[in-house]
Amino acid sequence: MKKTIGIITANYTLEGIDESMQDRALAAMPFGGRYRLIDFPLSNMKNSGINSVGIIMPFNNRSLIDHVGTGKAWGFGRKTNSLFMLPGSVYGKRNNTDKFLLRDIIMNFRFIDYDNADYVILSGTNQVYTMDYAPMIAQHEKEGVDMTIAYIKKNGEDVPLDLVVMNRTFLIDLASWFSNLDFLGLRTIIYDQLGDADIGRYEFDGEVINITSMSDYLSGNLALLNAETHQAIFRPDRQVYTNVQDRPPTFYTSSAKVRNSIVAAGCIIEGEVENSVIFRSSNIHKGAVVKNSVLMQHCNVAEGAYLNNFISDKRVHVMEKAHIEGTPESPYFAKKGQIV
Amino acid sequence: MSGKKCIAMLLAGGQGSRLGALTKNIAKPAVSFAGKYRIIDFSLSNCVNSSIDTVGVLTQYKPLVLNHYIGTGEPWDLDSADGGVHILPPYATETGGRWYDGTADAIYRNIDFVETYDPEHVLILSGDHLYKMDYAEMLAEHIAHEADLTISVYDVPLEEASRFGIMSVNEEGRIHKFSEKPKKPDSTLASMGIYSFKWSVLRAALLKDHKVEDSEHDFGKNIIPMLLKEGKALYPYYFTGYWKDVGTIDSYYEAQMEMISEDIGAMMFKEGSHIFSNSNLYPAHYVGKKAKIKESMISNGCVVEGSISHSSLATGVFVGEGAKIKDSVLLPEVKVGKNCKITKAIVNEGVSIKDNSVIEDPDGKIIVVSAASEWAR
C-alpha cells in the first residue's frame, strides 16, 4: 500500500442529536457498551496501517480530547505513529452543513503539505463499521483516479459513506483553486466545479450502522444484539480499540434476569434487563425492568422502575417505581446527570 | 535516579506447584483471577495506589506469560522514566550463573539494582497474594517507630498458625520472638511475608547471610531471626482487611468464590482504590436470548447462551446453549459447548469443552479441567 495519511472530521453536528448531546461532540458519543463513535474510524485507520492521523476537532472538544488523549490506546502517540489534534475552521460555531469542509483542509494545509504521502483518506465519525481501508486504497491506486468514494448497497440502492480517498496533491490543488468556495464541502466542489475529475467508487460489503438521530442511536446500539452485525463490527482479526477504564467484571445477583443484552464491566445487576445495552458501572436494582434501552456509564435504576425505549446519558438516576416509556421512533432521552 | 524514599521488590519467581495444572505453563503470579485480573495485579496496584513508583519484579519459574503481561508496566502507571517496573531474572556474573536460591538470595543478587535508586527503605512483597493494602500507611508506622524492619501481620486461627511465620510482641509493641512454621505456635500473629526494611539494615543482613554456609537464604528462616538476635528494632504492622495467599487449588477456588460473594467482592472491587490490570480489549459481554445468570461475575468479551449460577467467568468465555455452569470458575478464553453440565470445576485458560460433556465429581471435589482432560476438544 502506498503511503496514506488519515483525516477524521469531528467538527460537524447533526440536528437530530445535537440538542441531546449538549456539551459533548458527536464523535465522543458513547456506543456499544464501552466505545465512543470515534473509536471505529480511528481503529480502522490504525488497523489499515495508517501511521499519521489528524482529527479535526469540534469546538466542544473536552470529552473528545479526554477520550482520545495522545492516541496511545490506538497505538498512536509514538515516535513513528502520530496523532494530530487539528483545529476545526468553524471553531466556536456549529457545523450542520458538510462533513468535509474545504475550509478545514485549508486551515490545516500544513498537515497535508508537509507530509510526503501519496494519498489522504478522509472519514466522518457517525457511521459505525469495521473496514480494512487497504483494498479501497489499492483500488484507488489501480484505477488512477483523483478521488474514490466508498458506498454500500442498501435495498438495491447505492448509499455513499462518509469515506473518501484522494491523491494528496489533488487535495492540495483543490485547496488553492477553490479557496473562495471554502464554505463548501469537498465532494460538492468536485461534483459541481470539476466535471472532468476522475471519481472512482468502492463498494463496501460489510455492515454499517448509521447514526443521524436519537432513534438511530437506539436502534444502532440494539443492532449489536444481532449476532451477524456484532461479528461484522467486532471482528476477531480487526480489534476495535478504545480508552480502557479499569473496571471489575459485572456482578449478577440471585434476583437478576438478563436476556439478549450487552452489558459492560463494573455493573451490578439485580433487576431485569432485556434487549438493551448497558454501559459500565451502572446499577440495576431489584425489581427494576429495563427493556429496549441504552443506559450510558454510571446510571442507577432504583427498585421497581420500568424503562422501555429509553436512552439515558451518563450518571442518570431513575427513581424508585418510575415508569418511563418512549417509542422506537422517539425514544425517551434523559440528559447527563438527570434525575427522572 | 538517586534518593528514593522507598522502592518495592516483588517476589514472583515461585512455581506454585500445588496449583497443579494452573501453573503448568505460567508462574503463579500470572494465574488468572477474578475475571479480568491476574494475581500479580493486586500487588502491583497496591504499589501504585501507595505512591510507590519503582518496583523490581523477581522472576524465575516460567516467566514468559508474566513478562508479557507486565510489559512496560503501563497498565499500572509503572512506565515512568524515573523508576517504573523492572523485570529481574537471575543473571550470570564472572563467577558463573545460578538460580535464585531462596527469597533473601534473590534480593542479595539484586543489591546493585536497589543501589541505583539509593532508597531509604525497601518493601519486600509477594507476587502471589490477594489483598488491598496501603503500603504508605505501613511505611509511615515503620518510619515513626524508627524500625529496622516492620512485618505486616495478620491474626490467624490458632489451628492454622503452624503454616505461617509466627511472632510474639513485647509490652513496647516490639517483636521479640519469631518462629517460621512452628509445630506448637504460641501466638496467632502471622507474618504475611510483607516486609518494610531500612535498606542499610537489609543490605548488611543480606551480605552477612550470604556468607553463612548452611543458610537457606530465606527471610523467615534466616534473615528475621538474625536481626532479632542482633537486637534490631522489629515492629509488627497490623492488617485487618482481606488477605489470601492462594497456595493450593482449594484456597484458589475458595478465593475465586469469595470474589463473587456480595460482601468480599464488593469490598475488593467497589470500595477504595482500584485494582488495575493489563486487560485485553474485548467488547462488552453479551447475554443471549435463553441465558440465565445468577450470583455470578461476568467479564468483558463473554458470550453467554446457557445458564450460569454462582460462577466466575473470565474474559472472552463462551458458554453454548443449554449448558449449565454451577459453582465453577471458567478462566480466560474457555469455550463451553452446547448442553454441557459443569459443576464445581476450574476450567483452565483457553480450554474448549466438547458438547454434552458432564463435569462433576460424585463426591463434590473440585475438578481442574486442562487441555489434556477427556472433555477438552
CATH assignment of the domain containing A213: 3.90.550.10
Looking at the fold, whether A11 and A84 belong to one and the same domain comes out as: yes
Does residue A102 belong to any structural domain of this protein?
A: yes
Judging by beta carbons within 10 Å of its beta carbon (0-12, 13-18, 19+), is residue B357 exposed, middle or buried? buried
Q: Is residue A340 part of a domain?
A: no
- Please name the residues in contact with B361: beta carbons below 8 A apart, sequence gap of 6 or more: B344, B367
Nearest-CB residue to A249 (from B287, B290, B299): B299
User: What single DSSP character describes residue A72?
Assistant: G
- Distance, in Å, from the CA atom of B198 to the CA atom of B294, rounded to the nearest integer, reads 49
Same domain, A119 and A203: yes
A185 and A282 part of one domain: no
Show residues of chain A in contact with B262, CB under 8 Å: 251, 253
Helix (H, G, I), strand (E, B) or coil at A46: helix
- Same-domain check for residues A168 and A226: yes
The CA distances from residue B86 to A96, A106, A119, B13, B62, in Å, are: 51, 47, 42, 14, 17
Q: Are residues A280 and A306 in the same domain?
A: yes
d(CA B287, CA B178) in angstroms, rounded, equals: 53
Note whether A251 contacts B: Cβ–Cβ < 8 A.
yes
Taking 3-state DSSP, the helix, strand and coil percentages for chain B, each rounded to the nearest 5, stand at 25, 30, 45
**Residues A216 and A326 occupy one common structural domain:** no
Same domain, A101 and A202: yes
Q: Which residues of B touch A263 (CB under 8 A)?
A: 284-285, 287, 298
Q: What is the amino acid identity at position B191? A: S
| A contact residues 279-298, partner B, Cβ 8 Å cutoff | 279-280
Alpha-carbon distance B166 to B183, whole Å? 10
Sequence length of chain B is 377
Find the residue in B nearest to A243 (Cα).
B281
Q: Measured between alpha carbons, how far is B201 from B376 in angstroms, rounded to an integer?
A: 53
- B313 and chain A in contact, CB less than 8 A: yes
Instruction: Classify residue A240: in a domain, yes or no.
Output: no
**What are A152's three cell numbers?**
454500500
Write out pLDDT tens, residues B49-105: 999 999 999 999 999 999 999 999 999 999 988 899 999 999 998 988 899 999 999
Tell me the backbone φ, ψ of residue A148, rounded to 5 degrees: -120, 130
Cβ burial, residue B72 (10 Å; 0-12/13-18/19+) = exposed
**A265, B295: Cβ pair inside 8 Å?**
no
A93 contacts chain B (CB < 8 A) = no
Residue A175's Cβ-side half-sphere holds a number of Cα atoms within 13 Å equal to 20
> In which residue ranges of chain A is pLDDT below 70?
18-19, 22, 90-96
Task: Look at residue A1 in the predicted model and tell me its pLDDT.
Answer: 72
Which residues in chain A have Cβ-Cβ distances shorter than 8 Å to B301?
Answer: none
Integer Cα distance of A28 and A297 in angstroms: 13
What is the domain extent for residue A9?
Answer: 4-233
Q: Do B284 and A242 touch (CB under 8 A)?
A: no
Minimum-distance CB partner of B284 among A251, A260, A262: A262
* CA nearest to A246, candidates B210, B177, B37, B53: B37
How much is the mean pLDDT over chain B? 94
Does residue A189 sit within a domain? yes
B34 chain-A contacts, CB cut-off 8 A = 248-249
Same-domain pairing of A27 and A108: yes
Q: What pLDDT is recorded for position B2?
A: 65
Sequence letter at residue A208: V
Is A172 part of a structural domain of the chain?
yes
| pLDDT score, position B58 | 96
Domain CATH code at residue A269: 2.160.10.10
Residue B264 has pLDDT above 60, yes or no: yes
Residue B70 exposed, middle or buried by CB count within 10 Å (0-12, 13-18, 19+): buried
Count: domains in chain A: 2
- The answer to whether A52 and A115 are in contact (CB under 8 A) is yes
Q: Burial level of A114, CB count in 10 A (0-12/13-18/19+)?
A: exposed
Residues of A with CB below 8 A from B36's CB? 248-249, 265
Asked whether residue A21 falls in the same domain as residue A152, the answer is yes
The reply to whether residue A259 touches residue B285, judged by beta carbons under 8 angstroms, is no
Using CB atoms, pick whichever of B260, B284, B291 lies closest to residue A32.
B284
Same domain, A186 and A311: no
Residue A154 sits at the chain B interface (C-beta within 8 Å): no
Report chain B residues whose CB lies below 8 A from the CB of A78: none
Could you read off the pLDDT of B159-190 as tens digits, one per residue?
A: 889 989 999 999 999 999 999 999 999 899 99
Residues of A in contact with B268 (CB under 8 A): 248
- Span B283-297, mean pLDDT? 96
Residue A256 lies in a domain: yes
Query: Is A287 part of a structural domain of the chain?
Result: yes
- Cα-based torsion angle of the residue sequence B90, B91, B93, B98 in order, rounded to the nearest 10 degrees: 40
Q: Is residue A309 assigned to a domain?
A: yes
